[in-house]
Structure 1
């Protein structure tokens, strides 16, 4: 399908007749760039194309009733709306070769509003011939088949909203679109019809089939209940985390406002008293120094003469004691007697000589006879004086300044404590503790609710195991019963075949889309190894995975505190499955034991990234990668209209998207851009594939004007 012309008459800000002529002589040029500032009419053009093709389906209405016509009137040009003789329309000309032959179509959807009553008219021209009224309904079905509603959001790509559409876990948008794109939606229709036949059958032989369908329905319901309970448990845990954060916030606010506990108040007063006692001790030391040491330091040089004087007086005392002991007749007689005993002749004379020599040796003539002691200290007094001298000599002068510093430090600390006491208060302590107690109780209540939900979840998982066994039994019974059944048996067999075929189709689709998405994302994203894998589950929900080292000791703590359920919540599906495999896939009862006995101290696991934590730009790059991968499954060539292409995308990624996304997207591409999105570099990169360029300007007449082959001054 190739769009060749778009016409708007009195539609939105497009007053009177306006046209986009899209014909090109080069079929290889498939990109149409339409620039316009915000409010210039790009989104109006976007809606006009949708509306021309789909009518009331464009807005999600089941019919073209009053709600639809009321909606249409909001799009009629305000100036034209004042004249009841005016009309408005949107028209599209396109070619299509879906049925083998190249057909030319012109669609015109117009409105008039005589007497304020809006009326719609729909006309189709095929290969130059107007279709009759009875053929228009078939043509509308043809259009819905050509671009089914499941593809509407993909072909008409709103950059601001595409992420919400593709990543909505509550809807199967990705699944539905993929099935249509790949041409496999027929199997869904067949499966649905067969189910209706079998479910509505009242014959006894269909009981087995109904039992199988009922078992499958029960299992689906239980799995949905399990997922709901898991989400509720996660939500309760998140609420507990918020409450804990509230407690920390209250503590901080109470602290910032000077609030302290009674124990802290007592501690501050105790510290203040200790500082006062410390200063008393310092002052006592300072006074002692002033009394016992400072006088000696003041006399300075005089003190240096004391030790030599004491030493001389000590020597004098020694000399005097010796003198008094040997300068006696008794000692002299003893010396003479000793000489005589030695048998020396003339002992008296020799003894006198020896005595005189002893006197000269022991008592030399050094002036001690005239020496007069200054202090006259006793031995005890001398020891006390020496002790004082030692203390004085060992005393460091800087200690005197140290006393001052220690006092200043203590005074400063006391001042800080007093200021803290002055700025602190226990006045609101009771109110603070009451608030903390209230939140703590709320956390406890949430914990009880979480435990209750966990009990329900455990019971539900047990029911799922039982239901899976029942489904397996029903499946086997159905297989056996098929052998003896006629029409219903054939339907049952078709049902089973379609289910098996769906599994094969789903597996292939999921594998190819997963691989293409990962490849395209790594091609577009600036960060290397931002994600390591992508998984798409059976419900076609997309999961982003990144390798992460997880310590075994942390897992053991979680397991001991919250059991295997806590690990499942922390690791989530894929990482938990990987961990279970690494430790031997133990059952729930032995999981903790096998984890602790595992020889590994850490595990490299594929942890799921919460898509809500991605930046808006990263989310948009990922969505465009998923979009591109899905388009690879398309079995026909469709036009794409992309409004706000670079929503939330930074400069570096824009260049990648131009090269790797726009230029490689199959089919005709319309890019509706503001002056802040597609710039000169992008225009140059797209030049070889650009067929048409238009610039929309919103004039002073409050109307949109189309400038052919013009663009912003980039």
Structure 2
């Protein structure tokens, strides 16, 4: 697995969208992330775990309330407050995205995992997996995570995370041996065989159960008798079902014959009578609706149709009154016009008589000179209502009402015809007997169908009981079979365990030789005492380490300084990774804090360039100074500094390392 990118959107102190570009290659295999304590380095590490494994990162098998509570505490508080203040929901406002590449079916593919959360009204998680730019289905997603947990389990990821305290802890010989044992098991996939052995041992731990055989044989006999009894009952019920179905078929046939005979003599069957009654009800409903419309017309509109000439005269009077009012207003305005000024502006000579003539001319052209008898003196709104009433009182509206009256007459004729047909049918005694006969057949068929349903329910219950007893019976038979084959199967299990252990020992011996070679080579390069050691030996059973000098004499490890012991632990880890030939991203947190400058220089220039295909180094400003940074620059693919803004309570990502190079634009 090679990490390509991680995006933190409103996670921990990372407010908004924050991107870490983690692309590396064989030459530039180091990502350097600087940050003081409390700047967000731990959140970065936890986000890698969380993005890849979700609940497993917190040792939970599924999404539980406790897991969601931890997620809630991880989400950026400022972003939650802003979302609450805006009273809006934002999709994927809180998420972690991790991009990486893995080998699948002998082919390298690019994968993105996006874990997003919504916090209102309650926190919920959504997970998406994108392969080569295409989001996979739910089934493919489950298969992918199952494969990921097998090939790159969370326990192996934890072994790829190192901090200064952990490396110091490994300087103790027993701790280093135990760590090497666990790492070898995970990195060489020997844990699969160990899990198999545990299952085998659990099987072997079972007693022979010979004392249970009598009890199991008694159970077998009881289950067999119960099975036979239920099978007999099932056969009887099945026979009753078959007879009942035959009776239903015969009654249905007699009913159809009576119905055909009834129809042949002109009778109306029950279904047809029901249909006719439904049609009558529907027609009566339509007539009621039409009558209401006609009544509404008579009450509200018909008087105006009757008094149409008066209505027309009323409109004419209102228009004349309105024009008269307008004319009076215009006369007043013309009378007050400054005609002298207007003519002067136009360059026309004026006199009193000319002005009067102009006003008289304007009055004659623009106003109504005839007197109008004011009757109504209506407002503009009232007049407009009368105009609208006249426009709606027209022949088209009358035609609509005439159509409704005609439709009502047609519906009345239709309903009368249907009622007569029903009445004639009910008054015939011959038809009444036929109807009674059909109703008797219908009632008989209904009773038979109820009986059939009860029998089928009884049949299902018997089948379920047979299935339950059959499972119990088969289980007892298998237990007896296992007891009878215990001796031979236990022997086979012991053989499998023996073969597994032999295989693991053989694999470990071969791999430990490689670890010894690579670890010795690296330790000799890192340590300042040249010609001090010749070889590192590792016991394949106990994983205890021994250091040999050039005379093959064992060196007392207690004479090593704390820094040299740390270099030894790092050399062993590097040797194990080299032996596995696996692509592993290594995250090193405050790795150099307890080393002197010479040993720091050795690690930076000799170990890190070879440590892995991808090294993510988290460091404080006191751990890597300007000189060490210069030594490390030749292997750096990308560099960041995490600056925590105490006032705004958020971390800014800047693309430099504590200003040891020219600052770049903040991401």
TM-score, normalised with respect to structure 1? 0.47
Change (3 A) 1:707 1:118: same
Q: How many Å apart are 1:501 and its aligned residue?
A: 2.0
Change (3 A) 1:196 1:635: farther
Change (3 A) 1:499 1:22: closer
Change (3 A) 1:608 1:507: farther
Cα shift readout 1:219-275 (whole Å, capped 9, x = no counterpart): xxxxxxxxxxxxxxxxxxxxxxxxxxxxxxxxxxxxxxxxxxxxxxxxxxxxxxxxx
Correspondence 1:114 to 2:114: no
Change (3 A) 1:51 1:659: same
**Where in structure 2 are the equivalents of 1:300-315 lying within 5 Å?**
none
Structure 2 Cα separation of the partners of residues 78 and 192 of structure 1: 46
Q: Find the counterpart in structure 2 of residue 511 from structure 1.
A: 513
Correspondence 1:685 to 2:631: yes
Structure 1 Cα separation of the partners of residues 588 and 605 of structure 2: 16
Aligned with 2:613: secondary structure? coil
Correspondence 1:619 to 2:565: yes
Structure 2 Cα separation of the partners of residues 657 and 27 of structure 1: 17
Q: How many Å apart are 1:30 and its aligned residue?
A: 2.4
Q: How many Å apart are 1:136 and its aligned residue?
A: 2.8
Q: How many Å apart are 1:663 and its aligned residue?
A: 0.2
Structure 1 Cα separation of the partners of residues 144 and 170 of structure 2: 28
**Where in structure 2 are the equivalents of 1:452-471 lying within 5 Å?**
none
Cα shift readout 1:317-346 (whole Å, capped 9, x = no counterpart): xxxxxxxxxxxxxxxxxxxxxxxxxxxxxx
Q: How many Å apart are 1:706 and its aligned residue?
A: 1.5
Correspondence 1:650 to 2:652: no
Q: Find the counterpart in structure 2 of residue 54 from structure 1.
A: 53
Change (3 A) 1:669 1:50: same
Contact 1:546-1:608 at 8 Å conserved across structures: no
Correspondence 1:142 to 2:88: no
Contact 1:29-1:691 at 8 Å conserved across structures: yes
Q: How many Å apart are 1:154 and its aligned residue?
A: 2.7
Contact 1:178-1:633 at 8 Å conserved across structures: no
Structure 2 Cα separation of the partners of residues 120 and 509 of structure 1: 42
Structure 2 Cα separation of the partners of residues 540 and 79 of structure 1: 52
Correspondence 1:189 to 2:135: no
Change (3 A) 1:98 1:159: farther
Contact 1:518-1:533 at 8 Å conserved across structures: yes
**Where in structure 2 are the equivalents of 1:460-609 lying within 5 Å?**
488-528=490-530, 534-537=536-539, 540-543=542-545, 606=554, 608-609=556-557
Cα shift readout 1:365-393 (whole Å, capped 9, x = no counterpart): xxxxxxxxxxxxxxxxxxxxxxxxxxxxx
Structure 2 Cα separation of the partners of residues 184 and 125 of structure 1: 30
Structure 2 Cα separation of the partners of residues 652 and 168 of structure 1: 23
Change (3 A) 1:629 1:159: same
Contact 2:546-2:554 at 8 Å conserved across structures: no
Structure 1 Cα separation of the partners of residues 169 and 10 of structure 2: 32
Q: Find the counterpart in structure 1 of residue 161 from structure 2.
A: 156
Change (3 A) 1:167 1:631: farther
Structure 2 Cα separation of the partners of residues 68 and 110 of structure 1: 14
Q: Find the counterpart in structure 1 of residue 100 from structure 2.
A: 94
Change (3 A) 1:23 1:648: closer
Pick aligned residue for 2:642 from 676, 693, 696 = 696
Change (3 A) 1:497 1:688: same
Structure 2 Cα separation of the partners of residues 651 and 670 of structure 1: 20
Structure 2 Cα separation of the partners of residues 188 and 63 of structure 1: 25
Q: Find the counterpart in structure 1 of residue 6 from structure 2.
A: 6
Contact 2:114-2:128 at 8 Å conserved across structures: yes
Structure 2 Cα separation of the partners of residues 637 and 487 of structure 1: 40
Q: How many Å apart are 1:14 and its aligned residue?
A: 0.4
Q: How many Å apart are 1:44 and its aligned residue?
A: 1.7
Structure 1 Cα separation of the partners of residues 595 and 76 of structure 2: 33
- Structure 2 unaligned spans of 5+: 211-485, 662-667
Contact 2:27-2:609 at 8 Å conserved across structures: no
Change (3 A) 1:174 1:59: farther
Structure 1 Cα separation of the partners of residues 59 and 537 of structure 2: 31
Aligned with 1:698: secondary structure? strand
Contact 2:173-2:544 at 8 Å conserved across structures: no
Aligned with 1:91: secondary structure? strand
Contact 2:13-2:40 at 8 Å conserved across structures: yes
Structure 2 Cα separation of the partners of residues 147 and 163 of structure 1: 26
Q: Find the counterpart in structure 2 of residue 39 from structure 1.
A: 38
Aligned with 2:506: secondary structure? helix
Aligned with 1:632: secondary structure? helix
Cα shift readout 1:38-81 (whole Å, capped 9, x = no counterpart): 22222221221121112222233444323333333332223224
Aligned with 2:592: secondary structure? coil
Q: How many Å apart are 1:19 and its aligned residue?
A: 0.8
Cα shift readout 1:604-642 (whole Å, capped 9, x = no counterpart): 9746545xx865433322221121111112232122222
Q: Find the counterpart in structure 2 of residue 67 from structure 1.
A: 66
Structure 2 Cα separation of the partners of residues 113 and 120 of structure 1: 9
Bigger mean CA deviation after superposition, 622-631 or 35-44: 35-44
Q: How many Å apart are 1:646 and its aligned residue?
A: 0.9
Q: Find the counterpart in structure 2 of residue 20 from structure 1.
A: 20
Q: Find the counterpart in structure 2 of residue 207 from structure 1.
A: none
Cα shift readout 1:152-188 (whole Å, capped 9, x = no counterpart): 2232222332443685847944223212222333332
Q: How many Å apart are 1:526 and its aligned residue?
A: 2.5
Structure 1 Cα separation of the partners of residues 584 and 574 of structure 2: 13
Aligned with 2:165: secondary structure? coil
Structure 2 Cα separation of the partners of residues 166 and 73 of structure 1: 38
Change (3 A) 1:485 1:200: closer
How many equivalent pairs are there? Answer: 377
RMSD (CA atoms): 3.4
Contact 1:150-1:176 at 8 Å conserved across structures: no
Change (3 A) 1:532 1:69: farther
Structure 2 Cα separation of the partners of residues 107 and 165 of structure 1: 33
Q: Find the counterpart in structure 1 of residue 269 from structure 2.
A: none
Contact 1:524-1:660 at 8 Å conserved across structures: yes
Contact 2:29-2:609 at 8 Å conserved across structures: no
Q: Find the counterpart in structure 2 of residue 349 from structure 1.
A: none
Q: How many Å apart are 1:486 and its aligned residue?
A: 5.7
Change (3 A) 1:538 1:638: closer
Q: Find the counterpart in structure 2 of residue 405 from structure 1.
A: none
Pick aligned residue for 1:662 from 605, 608, 617 = 608
TM-score, normalised with respect to structure 2? 0.51
Correspondence 1:672 to 2:613: no
Q: Find the counterpart in structure 2 of residue 634 from structure 1.
A: 580
Q: How many Å apart are 1:145 and its aligned residue?
A: 2.6
Aligned with 1:633: secondary structure? helix
Q: Find the counterpart in structure 1 of residue 75 from structure 2.
A: 76
Cα shift readout 1:543-573 (whole Å, capped 9, x = no counterpart): 45578x9xxxxxxxxxxxxxxxxxxxxxxxx
Q: How many Å apart are 1:111 and its aligned residue?
A: 2.4
Contact 1:43-1:643 at 8 Å conserved across structures: no
Structure 1 Cα separation of the partners of residues 640 and 197 of structure 2: 47
- Structure 1 unaligned spans of 5+: 205-483, 550-603
Change (3 A) 1:495 1:510: same
